Structure formats: C-alpha cells, structure tokens
C-alpha cells in the first residue's frame, strides 16, 4: 500500500484520537525502521519506551513465535509455566515478593489503587482509601488513572472522575499537608515522563519513604515508563536507594507485547485474594515468553552498565548542541530542551529527515531502544543537530 492509501484507510476506520506523524512503518531491525516507501528512520522512541530490545530482536522473535505455535492463551483459570517463570524472574530482579500481571500500565496502576484501598480498609480502618499523587504526574487514561494523574488538562471532558485522589507538589511539606486521616498511600513517578522528563529530588524520595513508613501508608512507585532498564537499573528506585511497597510496570517489560505488572513487597503479598481482582488476558503466555527474553538479557552483568554508558553518551552529545539549552533525565530516558522554537515542529522536521523522536511538555523526549548501537545513535544525533541548526521558528 502507498502512504496515502494507508492514511485514507486510517481516516475512514479509526477514531481520530491520535495526532500522527506523516510516516507509515512496515518493518524494522534494532533501532532502525523502514516505511512503506523504503525510507529508513533512526528510532529514538522505541514505541514510547516499549521496544526495549529494539525491532525484531532474533532471540525475542524466536521465543514469541515458538510460544505462539505452542499455546497462545488459556486464561488465568489454569496454571501457566511460562507465566510462573516470568513471575519468578520479575520478583527476583525487582526485589519484590508477589506480582499481578495485567496488559498495560494503566491496568497495573488500577491494581495498585485497589491494593492500596483494600490495605487501607483492612489494616488501617474504615475510610482509609484516599491516595495522594503528585502534580504534573501521569498514571494512565482510564477514568481512575486519569483521576490519579495530576494534570488538569487530562481531566477535561471526562468528569465525573473517580474520587479519592488529592495532589501535592514534589516536596515533603506539600505531601504532609495533603495526607489526612483518610489517606492509605502516596503514589509517584520517580521521573515524570509525560510531565516533561522531570526527575524527583533524591532527598525528597528518601524523606517520603521514611514518612510513609512512619504513617503506615503505602509508597507506590509508578515505573511504567522508567522501569525495565530504562534509567540504567532494572527499576529506577534502585537509583534512589529506596524500596517501595508497591511498584507498577509495563511498556518495556515484554519489548512490544502488551504486558503490565503490579508488584508488592512481602508485607502486602496477601492483601488481594481470590475474587478481588483479575484479568482475562493478563500474563498471556506469548507476552510472558517475550518478557522472559527481556529479563534474561537485562540480567546479564554488562547490559545495564551499557545502558548507563549509552545514556551518558547521549546526554553529553545533546549538551554539546547549540540548539539545546538543557538536558535532564537518567539513563536512556532523556529530555532535551530546545534553545528556541516548538518541540512539536522540531519533531516533525526530524521525522521528515529520518529521525523518530518524542516530545513531552517543553522538551524533546528521547527513549531509544536499550540496545541501540553507537552507529544508530550517531546517525540520529546528527539528524537532530542538523534540524536544530537549521530550524527557524
């Protein structure tokens, strides 16, 4: 099909909820994608942080194809060896005790909300069901995770949202002011991705951990975008030296297949029992087969070190660009603020020249595959530099 045929088909049949770039991709390898016309693109997006092993990793592709030809779905009425293996690996790598498998980050966060509210009711007393989240946060697009999201623009048109959420600034004083006798948990991203790649201050995170422990309320860390090696450790809370009570995960976990996870520490392992939660597709064998390959690779001693080194390389090269005023982030989750102009227009011009890049608030957001090669990185950075050098707002 031609690009125009694909575009027309999309416009005729798909709800117009996406502002798409003028690109129709049909294949890819590593961090390089190819469109319907044979044009190649360097990918700094990994499908919004999803393709952790890049396009069509051979080991991942083989494992997924084998599972698809063996057993594609059985539901959670029966035991699944590939699911239990994925759970064991994820608990070991995260340091958590138990996991619930879902299909997305929003679903993982929904599970965390339910766990926190049941914990509050069961162990703290009736009415202990409210959750404090941070302003500028993003936790998903379901009605409940929209309510958890601390950005008013996401709330417009969808009232009434789920009640029981309040919002604080990312400092301990503001969180303390927001916590009441009804609070059961505080939920946060350690780097606010959709909020503009904004890292939390380490001292604040440490203080919050101590405060939540003191008040016997849960500390929930949303690692949907920051997790699975993205920031140079398996989960970003390792970079902050804290251990959450509940962790949510998705995106890069199965490197392109829909898999979410809500993990909890041992004291909370039995909060949710039979009948309190569930998912038809959650922990699907094919998705779990993909996740096992991802976790195997990330467990290799040099893999995360390599991610950290690549992240430093990207950050250094971005900081050297005259068209970039500042760089923030961690590992391969970076935000580059242009010296002038619209990040949206810059991203469009990058796509025209063969670079796929994201935006978030006032920054160009870079989430390249964790396996991106130096050659691919240099090609993409050269395109970005050229666009920034020639861009006129």
CATH tag, 3-56+301-389: 3.90.1150.10
Q: How confident is the model at residue 19 (pLDDT cuts 50, 70, 90)?
A: very high
The closest of 44, 55, 137 to 346, measured between CA atoms, is 44
pLDDT digits (tens, 9 = 90+) for 340-390: 999 999 999 999 999 999 999 999 999 999 999 999 999 999 999 999 999
Determine whether the annotation assigns residue 279 to a binding site. yes
242 assigned binding-site residue: no
User: Any alpha helices (H) in the chain, and if so which ranges?
Assistant: 3-13, 46-49, 58-68, 81-94, 105-119, 143-148, 152-155, 172-178, 202-215, 237-240, 285-298, 303-320, 343-353, 374-390
Quick one: tokens of 320? 């050297």
Please check the confidence at residue 392 and state whether its pLDDT lies above 90.
Answer: no
CB 60 within 8 A of CB 294: yes
Supply the pLDDT for residue 34.
Answer: 98
8-state DSSP, 139? -
Computed over every residue of the chain, the mean pLDDT equals 98
280 marked among binding-site residues? yes
Is 162 annotated to bind a ligand? Reply is: no
Residue 393 is predicted with a pLDDT of 79
Among residues 59, 88, 121, 74, which one has the least CA distance to residue 293? 59
* The domain made up of 71-299 is a member of CATH 3.40.640.10: yes
pLDDT of 280 higher than 90:
yes
Q: What is the mean pLDDT of residues 10-19?
A: 97
Mean per-residue pLDDT, 289-304: 97
Domain locations along the chain: 3-56+301-389, 71-299
* Residue 8 annotated as lining a ligand binding site: no
Q: Is 225 annotated as a binding residue?
A: yes
Question: For residues 221 and 224, what is the distance between their CA atoms, to the nearest angstrom?
Answer: 9
Query: For residue 355, what are the β-bridge partners?
Result: 42
Would you mind telling me the total number of residues written for the chain in this entry? 393
CA dist 25 and 371 (Å) reads 20
37-81 residue pLDDT tens: 999 999 999 999 999 999 999 999 999 999 999 999 999 999 999
At 246-259, the pLDDT tens digits run: 999 999 999 999 99
Dump pLDDT digits (tens) for 119-174: 999 999 999 999 999 999 999 999 999 999 999 999 999 999 999 999 999 999 99
Q: What is the pLDDT of residue 77?
A: 97
Cα 290 to Cα 100, 122, 177, 255, distances in angstroms: 17, 36, 43, 7
Q: What is the pLDDT of residue 376?
A: 98
């Amino acid at each position: 099909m031609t690009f125009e045929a694909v575009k027309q088909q999309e416009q005729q049949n798909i709800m117009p909820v996406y502002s798409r770039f003028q690109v129709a991709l049909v294949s890819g390898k590593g961090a390089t994608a190819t469109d319907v016309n044979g044009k190649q693109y360097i990918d700094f997006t990994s499908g919004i942080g999803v393709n952790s092993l890049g396009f069509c990793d051979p080991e991942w592709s083989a494992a997924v194809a084998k599972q698809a030809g063996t057993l594609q779905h059985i539901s959670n009425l029966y035991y699944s060896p590939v699911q239990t293996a994925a759970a064991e690996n994820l608990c070991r790598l995260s340091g958590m005790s138990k996991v619930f498998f879902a299909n997305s980050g929003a679903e993982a966060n929904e599970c965390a909300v339910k766990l926190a509210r049941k914990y509050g009711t069961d162990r703290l007393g009736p009415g202990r069901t409210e959750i404090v989240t941070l302003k500028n946060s993003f936790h998903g697009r379901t009605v409940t995770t929209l309510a958890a999201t601390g950005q008013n623009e996401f709330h417009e048109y969808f009232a009434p949202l789920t009640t029981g959420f309040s919002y604080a600034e990312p400092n301990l004083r503001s969180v303390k002011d927001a916590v009441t006798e009804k609070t059961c948990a505080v939920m946060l991203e350690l780097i606010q991705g959709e909020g503009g790649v904004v890292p939390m201050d380490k001292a604040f995170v440490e203080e919050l951990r101590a405060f939540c422990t003191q008040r016997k309320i849960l500390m929930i860390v949303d690692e949907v975008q920051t997790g699975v090696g993205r920031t140079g450790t398996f989960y970003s809370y390792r970079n902050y030296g804290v251990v959450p009570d509940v962790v949510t995960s998705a995106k890069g976990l199965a490197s392109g297949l829909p898999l979410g996870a809500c993990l909890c520490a041992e004291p909370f392992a039995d909060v949710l029992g039979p009948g309190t939660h569930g998912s038809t597709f959650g922990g699907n064998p094919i998705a779990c087969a993909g996740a096992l390959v991802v976790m195997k690779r990330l467990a290799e001693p040099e893999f995360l070190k390599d991610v950290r080194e690549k992240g430093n390389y990207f950050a250094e090269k971005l900081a050297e660009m005259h068209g970039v005023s500042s760089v923030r982030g961690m590992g391969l989750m970076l935000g580059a603020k242009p010296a002038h102009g619209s990040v949206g227009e810059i991203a469009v011009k990058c796509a025209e020249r063969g670079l796929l890049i994201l935006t978030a608030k006032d920054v160009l957001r870079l989430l390249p595959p964790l396996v991106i090669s130096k050659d691919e990185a240099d090609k993409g950075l050269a395109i970005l530099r050229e666009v920034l050098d020639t861009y006129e707002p």
